Structure 1
């Protein structure tokens, strides 16, 4: 799940960080919202007001069932505005023909475990700099902070900022982000496939 630095740090500090995040927060910081006990990550996403595109994408990618299960996951959830910012080429990713690509891209937004923004913030502070986690898809997400704001980048390329402190569900955490972690080449590939199909 984590790289060497983050893994060793997590074994020592993450349980304490999670306990601290559940009990308190720094002045001026809003703690993660707690969903009802029966809410799963998938349910928390479906009931959020600004994650409807993601909810549909997870269903299309057949990942909603995973996020409804007993395993614990944290998802860095692009908002509806983040998906809209991808434009027409981004919308092509939601087409049936692009489903294998969509599955891979969605897996890069998910990491195993119950990890709150406050725990990530404390890990960055303890490490004295960025920390990295391994995604469900095998890629890497790197987290850094400037003041209270936390940024996440995928494989050192495109990045997003946490849009809120997120929601703690019964089986994980939903953390909205202001951009989709989708490489430019992926959306271009979707558009190229569509153009090629139309030309045949």
Structure 2
């Protein structure tokens, strides 16, 4: 079932990529998701540095060395927790982001990183195409995230039950993209 969901997501992305070649303007899907993000020449970590509300995740990417993967040829989708999501963790966030040992922070980021370039529209199309209204996608850490629609928004949940919603415009840099999230996909 997971493979079927992933295949649907990838087919949706391929369909959108083909549609993008038409030269037309993307339509608003009405999902509350960001407009179609187009890749910039600037790297994703550089764009995150300048993005309002994403400073904690931008700094975490640099501190852990994960920023290096965005310089390679591969494409990734980063589900980027907003600063407010880290702040809501209180002391746990301070321990996580302030530690000299960045292993736990790197593991957390890998739980938010999906191989491939997926826009909110790609994920929305995959949800619409699925029979049960959900799509499962693996992260680079091996966790399976479940994407569903809740009203006009797209929600994502982790195996431990933590949940977040897409929020704001996606940022596309280099060959990767970041989608802001209202929460952190790991109970801490």
| Smaller-chain TM-score bracket | 0.7 to 0.9
1:33 Cα offset (Å): 4.0
1:98 Cα offset (Å): 4.2
Relative to its length, the structure with more helix (as a share) is 1
Instruction: Choose which of 65, 70, 73 in structure 1 pairs with 2:68.
Output: 65
What is the TM-score with the length of structure 2 in the denominator?
A: 0.87
Determine the C-alpha separation between the residues in 1 that align with 2:111 and 2:76: 12
- Within 5 Å, which residues of 2 pair with 1:183-198? 183-184=187-188
> What residue ranges of structure 1 are gaps of 5+ in the alignment?
185-200
Q: Do the aligned partners of 1:117 and 1:165 also contact (CA within 8 Å) in 2?
A: no
Q: Which has the higher contact order (CA 8 A, sep 6+)?
A: 2
Figure out how many residues of one structure are paired with residues of the other and give that number: 182
Determine the C-alpha separation between the residues in 1 that align with 2:10 and 2:185: 27
- Within 5 Å, which residues of 2 pair with 1:7-156? 7-20=6-19, 23-26=25-28, 30-34=34-38, 36=40, 38-128=41-131, 129-155=133-159
Q: Mark the CA change 1:39 to 1:19 in structure 2 (over 3 Å): closer, same or farther.
A: farther
Higher mean C-alpha deviation, range 70-79 or range 147-156: 147-156
Determine the C-alpha separation between the residues in 2 that align with 1:11 and 1:75: 16
What is the TM-score with the length of structure 1 in the denominator?
A: 0.82
> What residue ranges of structure 2 are gaps of 5+ in the alignment?
none
Q: Mark the CA change 1:126 to 1:42 in structure 2 (over 3 Å): closer, same or farther.
A: same
